[in-house]
Amino acid sequence: MATLHDLTLMEVRQLLERREVSPADVAESSLRRIDDVEQQVGAFISVDGDLALQMAHRAAGSLKKDGTGEPFPLAGIPMQIKDSICTRDLPTTCASHMLEQFRPGYDATAVAKLFSERAILLGKGNMDEFAMGSSTETSAFHPTHNPWDLERVPGGSSGGGAASVAAGEAYYALGSDTGGSIRQPASLCGVVGLKPTYGLVSRYGLIAFASSLDQIGPITRDVSDCALVLSSIVGHDSMDSTSISAPEPDYVSGLTQDVRGLRLGVPREYFVDGVDSKVEGAVREAIRVLEGLGASVVEVTLPTTPYALACYYILALSECSANLARYDGAKFGYSHQEAATIWEGVEKTRQFGFGEEVKRRIMLGTFALSTGYYDAYYLKALRVRTLIRQEFDRVFQECDALVTPTAPTPAFPLGERKDDPVRMYLGDIYTVPASVAGIPAISVPCGFSQGLPVGMQIIGPSLSEGTLLNIGYAYEQATTWHKLRPPQ
């Protein structure tokens, strides 16, 4: 029999429902796994074992909802939460010295929803500082290592979440995705990651990087687990002005494996020079599998794709410049105390509180918003964003979903791109278009290159999460990639 930490969320849920294990058994198994591998993987910024066990004992007394007899879907299942998502009275640092001592007075809405279902929190996930990075190397505390090869990155910025799930430390994680920060690390770590439609999951309690792009979403071992977690966190929230009112389907019941008649578009701009040949081969083979299951495949074109990356970085960096202006040492967070004037205090606070990548992005964003450059950069990027959205709308009249690589390469060595920001940014080239358009996308494991996982990205129109999950599920049931585990 597989050890508990090797199982999926759904498998553990079944054991709990049959009372073959208790929530405490599951929590203790996860904590032992963290003890065994965390020193090598570095997926967490903080772990609170006492809290996890307290929550496990609470869950044991209420695995089922009062009055209905139905089980709480996530009761007794240990999780990790990205450290940019607020958790009341617990560290929420954004992997930055600026917020090293910050303890929020409230839970993010998505976290509160999970807690209401008696989920168990193991700790907070490592990340790129303020979610600014694609490798989880810009964390102020330590880098995270890919469980498939400890000398390689797990991706970012939600690298801690992807690594913790891949390594069996947590059964699922909540991450945030601005330009690919859930999907890219999911691809590099061989797990499933979904970015929902913008506004489908509340952003209340998510410390903002780029407010018009950020979305909270799940990272899991397989698509069934992803559907279960997503069902638990969606919903309109009056505390979030960007939250939308939309149906809240049971995504699990929609997993039928039936993709017959679906039209899948393959954008030619996503299969060009620069993509690793084995990555392309794995994704094209995955497309053939879906075609064999009854889906039809058509080549489509998205001509603005080459401009999406530049558009994204102008918008995201401009918004980060505005959002991070609040960290001035006067209100909360780190405050430099050895300054002659208030202005020197602000300067020194930001100098020592922020890391190099965050400061680089703030300066670039401030430049794009400055007098004389606003029209040339920010306003033009907004217009390109509209074109990208319109282009996706046009393509989705021809097909139901798009299938692409998630990342152009498998996981790269730690340190290889840290001093080459442009090359690092190019790793997001396949994930940013969906973010700019505000539409959902999921990454599903589909093969290996150089012994490292490869992810297939499935993109759909707004509120098509159910369709994307079912496509991923049908593919998953026809293959075994999602069942493989790292050697560590």
Active site residue 82: yes
Annotated active-site residue 443? The verdict is: no
Catalytic annotation, pick one of 84, 96, 135, 181: 181
In the structure encoding, which two tokens stand for residue 411, read together?
């996981």
Q: How far apart are CA 476 and CA 192, in angstroms?
A: 10
Question: E strands along 83-227, which residues?
Answer: 120-125, 172-177, 192-195, 215-220
The set of residues, in sequence order, having a beta carbon less than 8 Å from that of 72 and lying 6+ positions away, is 59, 62, 63, 64, 65, 117, 118
Q: Where are the alpha helices (DSSP H) in 370-450?
A: 380-395, 421-426, 432-437
CA gap 57, 34 in Å, rounded: 19
* 181 part of the active site: yes
Catalytic residue among 30, 157, 164, 243: 157
Residue at 305: amino acid letter = T
Could you give the CA distance from residue 271 to residue 267 in angstroms, rounded to a whole number?
A: 7
Residues 189 and 210: their CA atoms lie apart, in Å, by 25
Question: 4: which strand partners?
Answer: none
At 22, the amino acid letter reads: S
Percentage helix, strand, coil for the chain under 3-state DSSP, each rounded to 5: 40, 15, 45
Per the residue annotation, which of 29, 82, 134, 202 is the catalytic one? Answer: 82
Distance, in Å, from the CA atom of 120 to the CA atom of 57, rounded to the nearest integer, reads 10
How far, in Å, CA of 108 to CA of 114, rounded?
A: 10
CA distances, 47 to each of 101, 119, 223, 261 (Å): 15, 15, 26, 47
Report d(CA 360, CA 350) in Å as an integer: 12
Within 8 A by CB and 6+ apart from 435, the residues are 177, 178, 179, 180, 195, 213, 312
Indicate which residues carry an active-site annotation: 82, 157, 181
